[in-house]
A and B are shown apart, each in its own frame.
Chain A
Amino acid sequence: MKLKEYIVAAICLFSMVGNSIAQEGEAIQEVVQPEDTSIVAPEEKVRLPFSEIPKDRLVGAVSTITNNQITTADLDVRNALVGRTAGLNMRKWNSRPGLDGTTMLVRGNHTLGNNAPMVVIDGIANRALEMLNYYEIESITVLKDVTAKALYGAAAANGVILVTTKRGKSGQKLQTFSAEHGVRRPTHLPEFLNSAQYAELYNESLTNNGLNPIYTPQQIEAYRNAGPNDSLPNVDYYDRYLKEFTTFKRFFGTYTNSTDKTRYFISAGYVNENGLEAVGQETQYNRFNVRGNLDFAMNNFLSFKLDLASRIELTTSNRLTYTDWSGLGFFSTLSTHRPNEYPIYIGEGRLGWSPERSTNIEGELLRAGYVKDEFRISQIKTSSLMDFSAIGINGLTWENSIGVDSYSILRYGKQEQYARFDTQGNQYGANDPTSNQNVNGNQLYRNYGFISTLNYDLTEGVNELSILANFNFQNREAGGLNQPSKNLNYGAKVNYSFDSKYVAEATLAYMGTNRLEKGNRFQMFPSAGIGWVASNEGFLKAIDAIDFLKVKASYGQMGYDSNIPFFGYRTAYNWAGAILLGPDQATNSEGAFDVSTYGNPNLGFEVATELNVGVTSTLFDHLNLEFNYFNEYRSDIPMQVSAAYPDYLGIQNIPTLNFGEISNRGVEVDLTYFGDAGDINYSLGGFYSYTRAVYEKTGDIVSEPHLHRDGQPVDRILGYVSEGFYTSSAEVNVISSLGGDVQEGDLKYRDVTGDGVINSDDRVVIGNSLPRHLFGLNFNVSYKGFNLFVLGQGAAGFNRLKNGLNSYTGRGDQKYAANALNRWTPENPNATHPRLTSATGSAHSYVGSTFWMTDAYYFTMRNIELSYSFPEAVRSKIGNASGLQIFVRGTDLLSISDDPDFNADNPFAGLSQGFLMKTVSLGLTLSY
C-alpha cells in the first residue's frame, strides 16, 4: 500500500462507528464513590495521564472530585469547584447570561505571564471546562505535582484539570429527566449620589481647587425634586435600567444503557437565561447541547470508543450590553453617566443630549440596534483499545485516540443611529433605523489531539509493576492567535510496588514545542517519587485507629512553554506601510523598514522544579486526611529584561531571555469525616491551603532598593503609606509628583525616601492580591429521603484597592459615589474619602495607598442544596420511576467580609463588568 492509503485506512479505522469492550474490572466505574473530596479507599484507582493507578501506589498529589459533589445553582460548572478541594484556587470574576467569568489556578501563581492550568477533557488537552454541564461529568481530577503532570508536556506545568465524562455502565439502564428554574440577582449594588447631592459636592470640588462653583442654589433646588426627563434631570441609572432579578430555565435528559458488546451514554440539554436590562432588548441566551459516548467491543482484543459532543449557543443582546463583554457598555454606562448629565427624554420621544458624550443610554438600549452571537462547538474523539491479554500477553494494552474539536463563532447585528436634542430643541444626529444587518465577526478555530499509550501491568506475588509508554501531540488554535500552539511529547513511566508497602515511580518526559527553534525544541525532563504505606507494616497494623497511612514524596522537573513568544528566536523586519520618501508615497507599500523583533537564538524552555511531600491517611474508620507540602521553583522564565538592554541602544523590541525565577511554596490539607446515627448519615469535610509565590530573579533596575521585585511576592501591591489627612495646608511639607495640588484634607503619605518629594519611589509593598489562605467547609446530612448539602468557601490574606473603583470615589468630573458624602472637611476629620477635587487627571490623594486598601478576606456560603427523594410508594404511581427528587439550590447567598458592600472576587463587577450573582433555583429530577 502507498502512504496515502495507509492514512486513509487510519482515518477509516479511527472513525468507524464502534465502541469498546466492557472492560472487566474497570474499577473506576464500579467503586461506589464515597461522599466527599479527594479521599478514596486505597484500592480504588486514581486517574492519571493516560492511566489509572490504585490509590495506595500513588506517589504524587492528586485530588478527585466526583459527580455527586458537583452542585451549584450557577450554570457554569466551574463554579461547582469553588471551595471544593485544596490546591484549586477559583475566582468568580463576573457573570453574564450563560457564562460566568470564573478563573482557575492550581497551587496559586507559578510564573510571569500565563498561570492558567491545562484542562484535559477525556484525554484531549485544551478543551474548556465551562463547555460541559455538570450532568455530563463523571469525575474531575486535579493533578498537582510534577509526577502527575509531566506526561502532558510543556503546557501542563501550571497544573492539570483532568475531566472525565460519563459513559455507559454494563448492566445499567437509566433514563433521567430534570428541570430546574431559578432566579439570579446581583450580590451588591453600587451607591451613587443623586443630582442635587452631586451638584453640591461638585461645587465643593471646584471651590477646593480655587475655582468658581458652577451650580447655583436654584439649580440644586430644582435637581432635588427632578425626575429623569426634566431639563435639570435626576437619573438613578441603576434603579431605572436594572431589573431586580433575572430568570433562567434548564432542562436535561440522559439515557444510559448497555448490551453485551455496547454501552452508551446519551444526553441532551437546553438552557435559557436572560439579562438584567430593564429597558429595551434584554440579553437572551439559549443553549442546546447533546452528547453521545459510545463503547463498542469488536471482540476480546479490540474495542472502540466514539465520543461526540455538540453545543450551540445563541445570544441576542442590545449593542450596549454586547460591548460590555469587552468592558465598555451597559454596566460602564450605569457607573459613569452622571445623574444630572442629560435628561433621558426632552419632550415626547425626543432623547436628551449631553454636550460631553455621544450617547444617551436610553437611545443605546432602544434605538442603536442589536448583536447576535452564534457559538457552535463540536467535539469528536475516537479511540481504539487493544487488550493483548486476548492473545496471551496479560496486562498489556494499547490505546490510540484522536480528538478533533471545532469552534465557530458568528457575530452579526445592526447598528443604528438615533437623534438627540438639547434644551433649545437643537437636533444632534439623525434617527436612522434603516441600516443593514452586518457580520461583525466570523471565527473558526480548532483543537486537535492524538494520544497513543501502551500500558503494561504485572503482578507477581508481592511485586506489582506498571509500565507506561506514551506519545501524544496537541494542536491548539485560538481566535486571534497567528500560530497554533503545538506540542509533541514522548513519555515513559514505571511504577513499582513491593508488598503493598513500598512504592517507587520514575517518569521521563521528552517534551517538544513549536515555539522554539530546531535544536532547542525538544528537551528531556525526569521526575521520580516514592511512597511508603506504613499502615501495612506489622507494627501499625495492630493499631486499630489507623486504617490507612501512607507517606509519599515526589521530585522532578518539567518544561513550560506557554510564556515563550512565537519566533522569539529570530530577528525579523517589519514589512508594511507606505513609502515615506520619494514618488508614489501614498500607494507604494513595498519594502521593510525596521527590525520588528530582535531574536534570541538560544531561547529554550522555562523549567519547573518541584518537590511534593505528602501524607494520606484514614483514621478511626471515619476520618480521611490528606496533607501535602510543595515547593516549586521556576527558572529560565522567558522575559524581556529591559535592564539588560540600555535604552541607549534604541531597541524597542528587545530579545526574550530565559531569565526570570519564581519560587512558590505552600501546604494543603483535606479532611473528611463520615458518620451515621440511626437513619441519619452525614459527612463533614474541609480543606485549608496556603500558597505564596515570590520573585527570585527579575533583573529589575530600580531607583530605590525597596522597589526591587526580587524577594517580594509576585502578587504584590505597591502603594503609598497613608498617615492620615493633612489638617491644614501649612502642614504640607513635601512636593508631590502625583498630580494636583496638595492641601488640607489630602492624604499625608510617608516620604519613604526622605527626599521631600512624594513620587513613585515612595511606594512600598502594602499588600498582595492573591489569597494566601483558602479554605472550604462542606457538610452533608441525609435523613430518610431528605438530604442537605452546604458548601462554604473562604479566602484570607489578600487585599484590594478601592481608589480605582468609582463606586467608592467622587472626584474630577466623574460620577460621584455615595462615599463622597463622607469626604474630609474640617468638620469631618475621620472621613472615608479625601477632600474633594475637581482635578481630572491623576490626583495626589486618589492613587493606590493604604488609605484605599482593604483587607479583602471573606467567607461565602457558595452552595446550599436541600433535596427530597420520594419514596417508592409515590414513585410507583408515576410509572415505577426509579427515582424522583425535588431540590432547591442556592449559590452565594450569604457572605461575611470586612465591607458587606464589597465583592473581593471582582470589585469591578457591576461597574465595568457584569455583576456577580446570587442564585436560587428549584428543580426536579425523575429517573427510570
Chain B
Amino acid sequence: MRVRKYLYKILIVMLVLSSYSCEEYLDAVPENEITKDRVFTNYESVNKVLGVTYWSVHNYIAGRDDWSGPVGVYSDECQPVHANGPHSTNAHTGNWLDWTWREMGFQYNDGGGGQLRRKGVTVGGLAVVGIRLANIALDEYETIREIEEVPQLPGGITGDQIKDYMEGEFRLLRAWFHFELIRRYGPLVIIDVPMDPNEPFLAERERYDVMTDWIVSELETAANLLPEKWTGDFEGRATKTSAMAIRSMALLYAASPNMNLLDNGVEAYNDEYLQRAAEASLEAIQTAQNSGYYRMYPWSEYMENWWSDNDFISDEALWGPPQEYWDNQGNANVVGAGMFRPRAIPGAGGWAAHAAPTQNAVDKFEHIYDNGNAAKAIEDSPEYDPQNPYEDRDPRFYEFIWKNGDDYFFNNDTKVEAWVGGPQWNNANQQGRWTGYFTRKHLWKGCNNVDNVGKQRRMPHIRFVQLYLDFAEAANELVGPNGAISHAGMTMTAVEAINVVRNRVGMPDIHADYTVNADVFRERIRNERAVELYQEMHRFQDLRRWRAFDELQHIYYAVITKDGDNFTYDKAEIENARQYTDKHYWYPLPQAEVQNNPNLAQSPGW
C-alpha cells in the first residue's frame, strides 16, 4: 500500500538524520585550538612568550595612562599641575586604598599597547602577569630544551645557547617582578610555579629578607645562564650584568631602614645586607666593565641615557623595559611625551595633566664656585646669589629642567616666561598649579608641536652610574666616607664612588666639608642620588626605604616677580602637598586581595 511505502522511506531517512545529529551535530571545532603542548614545542612561541614577559616590565614614560606621571609626582621631584588630577585627589591626599591605578594596585590593562606590547598602567598588574608567564615557561622548560628547530640567530648563537639564555631571562624577569612588588607592598609570596586558577590561593606573607634571598639566588642562577652581551637585533635583552645590577639594588633595598624595621623592628640599616649590597655592587661594576658592551657615557653624550637620534639601546642602561621601537616614529609626538610638556606654552603640545619640577628639586642642584673648582649646596655656597639663582649650577640642572628665560623652541622666539602674571601664567593658572619650571629630562629640545623633532626615547630602570651610588650608600654606612671596601679584586671608598658620578658630568669632587663623617656624607650621597636619578622613579622609592618623608613636608614652587627687565626670585609652599603618614611607607594591597585570601595580611599600617 502506498502509505506504507512512504512510511518506510521516511522512517529510514529519519533514522539516518537522527543518528548523524546526536553527537557530531554538537561538536564545536575551535578555529584556533592552541594548547600548551603546541606553544612550548615551538621556538617562535617560546620567544614570543618571553617577549610578552619582557613587555610586562613597566615603562614609566611610554605608558599612555601614566599621565601626570608617577615619575616624580609622588615625591618632592615634581608637582602635577592638574589640581583635580588623580594624583592630587588620591595619591597626595594619602587616600591610597581608593587608588588602585597606575603606580598602585594590581589592575591590569594593556595600556593601549595591545596584548603583545603591553604598556600596562599598574606596575603591580604587569608584574603579576609577568610572573605568571615566566612560571608557565619555566615549568615547561624541559619541553623547551627539547625543541630541535631553532632558526639562525644573530651573533652565531646556537640552539643550546639560546635556550640557556632564555631560561636566564625568564628567571631574571620573574625575580625583577617579585622585587617590583615587594619594594612597594612589602614582602608578599614567592610564586615560582604556575598557579592553577581552580585551586584556592591561601598563601601567607613571607619575610622581606626571605624574599630578597630568593630573588638574589634566582638572579645568581640567571647570571650563570645569561650572556655577557647581546648583539644585533638582540641588543637590549637581559645580560649577566643585568642580573648582577638588580641583585645589587635588591640587596641595598633589603639593607634599608624601612625593610629592616619590618623584619627586625630596627629602624636603621642592616649591616649584613649592607655588606652583601656593597660587594654585590662591586661585582656588578666589574661584570659591566668586563662585558665589552656597557659603559658610562661621557658628559658629551650624557643625555643619550634618555633619548637618542639613532640608537634604540643605551650603552649605560644595565636593565630596563624593552625599548619603544614602534612608538618612536621620528616626530615629537611619541607616546607619553605630553605628560612632560607644558600645556601653558602654546605649541608645546602638553596635556592638561603634566608634571612640573618643584623648587625643592631645583634647590638640590649644587652651586659651583671658585672658578669651577668647588661646589656646595646652595645654602652652603659662599657665592650663591638667591636673586641670580640659575647661574653656575650643576650642569645637569640645565639639561633636566626648563627655567624662566629659556628658549623653548628652535623655530620661534617663545621663551619660558615663568613669572607671576606672565603670558604663560594665566594659562597655567587655568590648568591648576604652577611651579615655575618645566620638565626637560625626558624630552629634548624640539620635542614639541612647533619644531617637531623626533628622537628615540629610553627609560632605563638601572643605569651603570647607579651601581656607584648604591655602593657609596652601603660603604658609607659600613665604613664611613673614606673607608675602603675590597671585594673581588676591587677596592673603593664611598667618596671615590660619588666622585665617579660627579666627575662624569663635569662636577668637581665632593667638597671635603661634606666627608667629615658618615652622617654628613649620608645627606650628600642622598642629594647626589636625587640629582643624578632625577625623575627616574627612584626618589620616591628611596624616600620610602629611608623612611625619610620629612623631606616631603614642604613642597615649594618658584615665585618669580617681573619688574621691567628685572626679576626677583622667591618661593612659596604648595598647601597640603603630600599628606603622608607612617603607613604610607608601604603601599596598601587592594582591599579585595586581602578579603580574597584571609591569610594575606594587609600592608603594615593599613
The interface residues of chain B lying within 8 Å CB-to-CB of A576 are: 116
Q: Report yes or no: A390 in contact with B597, Cβ–Cβ below 8 A.
A: no
The interface residues of chain A lying within 8 Å CB-to-CB of B593 are: 646-648
Closest to A839 in B: B84
In the complex, B139 has a CB within 8 A of chain A: no
The interface residues of chain A lying within 8 Å CB-to-CB of B34 are: 572-575, 592
In the complex, A674 has a CB within 8 A of chain B: no
Q: Report yes or no: A647 in contact with B33, Cβ–Cβ below 8 A.
A: no
Q: Report yes or no: A581 in contact with B106, Cβ–Cβ below 8 A.
A: no
Of residues 480 through 501 on chain B, the ones whose CB sits less than 8 Å from some CB of chain A are: none
The verdict on A580 contacting B596 (CB below 8 Å), with A513-B26, A741-B84 known, is no
Residue interface mask B83-121, A partner, CB < 8 A = 1: 110000110010101100000001110000011110000
The interface residues of chain B lying within 8 Å CB-to-CB of A212 are: 426, 430
Contact segment of B6-14, B266-274, B507-515, B567-575: B6-14
Partner of A647, one of B95, B197, B237, B592: B592
Q: How far is the CB of B589 from chain A (nearest CB, A)?
A: 8
Q: Report yes or no: A573 in contact with B132, Cβ–Cβ below 8 A.
A: no
Q: How far is the CB of B44 from chain A (nearest CB, A)?
A: 3
Closest to A649 in B: B195
> Roughly how many angstroms separate A595 CA and B596 CA in the complex, as a whole number?
23
Residue interface mask A557-593, B partner, CB < 8 A = 1: 0000000001100111111111111110100101111
Contact segment of A371-379, A408-416, A482-490, A536-544: A482-490
Q: Report yes or no: A580 in contact with B597, Cβ–Cβ below 8 A.
A: no
Contact segment of A7-15, A30-38, A117-125: A7-15
> Roughly how many angstroms separate A256 CA and B365 CA in the complex, as a whole number?
96
Question: How many A residues face the partner with a CB closer than 8 A?
Answer: 81
Partner of B130, one of A571, A645, A650: A650
Residue interface mask A289-314, B partner, CB < 8 A = 1: 00000000001011000000000000
Q: Report yes or no: A573 in contact with B38, Cβ–Cβ below 8 A.
A: yes
Partner of B430, one of A10, A211, A644, A757: A211
Q: Report yes or no: A581 in contact with B50, Cβ–Cβ below 8 A.
A: yes
The interface residues of chain B lying within 8 Å CB-to-CB of A848 are: none
In the complex, B300 has a CB within 8 A of chain A: no
Partner of A594, one of B16, B133, B198, B234: B133
Q: How far is the CB of B120 from chain A (nearest CB, A)?
A: 10
Q: Report yes or no: A10 in contact with B51, Cβ–Cβ below 8 A.
A: no
In the complex, A176 has a CB within 8 A of chain B: no
The interface residues of chain B lying within 8 Å CB-to-CB of A567 are: 28, 30
Q: How far is the CB of B176 from chain A (nearest CB, A)?
A: 14
Closest to B44 in A: A591
The verdict on A594 contacting B12 (CB below 8 Å), with A577-B114, A581-B237, A582-B154 known, is no
In the complex, B217 has a CB within 8 A of chain A: no
The verdict on A9 contacting B9 (CB below 8 Å), with A647-B593, A652-B129, A737-B90 known, is yes
Q: Report yes or no: B28 in contact with A647, Cβ–Cβ below 8 A.
A: no
Q: Report yes or no: A514 in contact with B591, Cβ–Cβ below 8 A.
A: no
Question: How many B residues face the partner with a CB closer than 8 A?
Answer: 93
The verdict on A580 contacting B48 (CB below 8 Å), with A646-B593, A649-B201 known, is yes
The interface residues of chain A lying within 8 Å CB-to-CB of B595 are: 643, 701
Q: Report yes or no: B16 in contact with A580, Cβ–Cβ below 8 A.
A: no
Q: Report yes or no: A488 in contact with B22, Cβ–Cβ below 8 A.
A: yes
Q: How far is the CB of B203 from chain A (nearest CB, A)?
A: 9
Q: Report yes or no: B44 in contact with A646, Cβ–Cβ below 8 A.
A: no
Closest to B31 in A: A482
> Roughly how many angstroms separate A514 CA and B129 CA in the complex, as a whole number?
31
Q: Report yes or no: B51 in contact with A488, Cβ–Cβ below 8 A.
A: no
Q: Report yes or no: A739 in contact with B49, Cβ–Cβ below 8 A.
A: no
Q: Report yes or no: A737 in contact with B52, Cβ–Cβ below 8 A.
A: no
In the complex, A651 has a CB within 8 A of chain B: yes
Q: Report yes or no: A6 in contact with B16, Cβ–Cβ below 8 A.
A: yes
In the complex, A735 has a CB within 8 A of chain B: yes
> Roughly how many angstroms separate A471 CA and B21 CA in the complex, as a whole number?
10
Q: Report yes or no: B89 in contact with A737, Cβ–Cβ below 8 A.
A: yes
The interface residues of chain A lying within 8 Å CB-to-CB of B133 are: 594, 650
Partner of A592, one of B22, B49, B90, B325: B49
Closest to B18 in A: A471
Q: Report yes or no: B132 in contact with A757, Cβ–Cβ below 8 A.
A: no
> Roughly how many angstroms separate A760 CA and B97 CA in the complex, as a whole number?
12
**Most chain B Cβ neighbours within 10 Å, of A13, A594, A650:** A650
In the complex, A386 has a CB within 8 A of chain B: yes
Partner of A10, one of B17, B27, B31, B188: B17
> Roughly how many angstroms separate A343 CA and B48 CA in the complex, as a whole number?
53
Q: Report yes or no: A595 in contact with B116, Cβ–Cβ below 8 A.
A: no
The interface residues of chain B lying within 8 Å CB-to-CB of A9 are: 9, 13
> Roughly how many angstroms separate A478 CA and B49 CA in the complex, as a whole number?
34
> Roughly how many angstroms separate A311 CA and B89 CA in the complex, as a whole number?
57
Partner of A572, one of B35, B130, B191, B201: B35
In the complex, A655 has a CB within 8 A of chain B: yes
Q: How far is the CB of B147 from chain A (nearest CB, A)?
A: 12
The DSSP consensus for interface residues of chain B is helix
Q: Report yes or no: A566 in contact with B10, Cβ–Cβ below 8 A.
A: no
> Roughly how many angstroms separate A581 CA and B170 CA in the complex, as a whole number?
13
Closest to A838 in B: B430
Q: Report yes or no: A591 in contact with B84, Cβ–Cβ below 8 A.
A: no
Of residues 206 through 246 on chain A, the ones whose CB sits less than 8 Å from some CB of chain B are: 211-212
In the complex, B590 has a CB within 8 A of chain A: yes
Q: How far is the CB of B453 from chain A (nearest CB, A)?
A: 24
In the complex, A786 has a CB within 8 A of chain B: no
> Roughly how many angstroms separate A593 CA and B129 CA in the complex, as a whole number?
12
Q: How far is the CB of B89 from chain A (nearest CB, A)?
A: 6
In the complex, B419 has a CB within 8 A of chain A: no
Of residues 863 through 888 on chain A, the ones whose CB sits less than 8 Å from some CB of chain B are: none
Q: Report yes or no: A593 in contact with B10, Cβ–Cβ below 8 A.
A: no
Partner of A652, one of B50, B108, B325: B108
The verdict on A737 contacting B31 (CB below 8 Å), with A648-B188, A701-B592 known, is no
The verdict on A647 contacting B106 (CB below 8 Å), with A471-B18, A482-B31, A573-B35 known, is yes
The interface residues of chain A lying within 8 Å CB-to-CB of B290 are: none
The interface residues of chain B lying within 8 Å CB-to-CB of A928 are: none
Q: How far is the CB of A751 from chain B (nearest CB, A)?
A: 14
> Roughly how many angstroms separate A648 CA and B9 CA in the complex, as a whole number?
63
Q: How far is the CB of A839 from chain B (nearest CB, A)?
A: 6
Closest to B84 in A: A740
> Roughly how many angstroms separate A650 CA and B232 CA in the complex, as a whole number?
32
> Roughly how many angstroms separate A418 CA and B71 CA in the complex, as a whole number?
43
Q: How far is the CB of A119 from chain B (nearest CB, A)?
A: 22
In the complex, A841 has a CB within 8 A of chain B: yes
Q: How far is the CB of A78 from chain B (nearest CB, A)?
A: 31
Of residues 31 through 75 on chain B, the ones whose CB sits less than 8 Å from some CB of chain A are: 31-36, 38-39, 42, 44-52, 54-55
In the complex, A600 has a CB within 8 A of chain B: yes
The interface residues of chain A lying within 8 Å CB-to-CB of B430 are: 211-212
Q: Report yes or no: A759 in contact with B35, Cβ–Cβ below 8 A.
A: no
The interface residues of chain B lying within 8 Å CB-to-CB of A647 are: 106-108, 124-125, 128, 590, 592-593
Q: Report yes or no: B26 in contact with A488, Cβ–Cβ below 8 A.
A: yes
In the complex, A598 has a CB within 8 A of chain B: yes
In the complex, B322 has a CB within 8 A of chain A: yes
Q: Report yes or no: A581 in contact with B429, Cβ–Cβ below 8 A.
A: no
Partner of A703, one of B38, B107, B154, B591: B591
Q: How far is the CB of B531 from chain A (nearest CB, A)?
A: 34
In the complex, A400 has a CB within 8 A of chain B: yes
Residue interface mask A1-22, B partner, CB < 8 A = 1: 0010011011001000000000
Q: Report yes or no: A301 in contact with B50, Cβ–Cβ below 8 A.
A: no
Of residues 160 through 190 on chain B, the ones whose CB sits less than 8 Å from some CB of chain A are: 188-189
Q: Report yes or no: A578 in contact with B116, Cβ–Cβ below 8 A.
A: yes
The 4 residue pairs across chains A and B that have the minimum distance between CB atoms: A580-B51, A650-B128, A591-B44, A647-B106
A sample of 16 more A-B contacts (CB under 8 A), given A581-B51, A650-B133, A739-B84, is: A7-B17, A10-B17, A301-B3, A390-B3, A567-B28, A573-B35, A582-B47, A592-B38, A600-B198, A646-B201, A647-B107, A647-B592, A650-B125, A650-B128, A652-B129, A735-B95
Would you give 12 A-B contacts (Cβ < 8 Å), ordered by A?
Answer: A488-B22, A488-B26, A573-B34, A573-B39, A581-B322, A590-B44, A646-B600, A647-B106, A650-B108, A651-B195, A703-B591, A757-B98
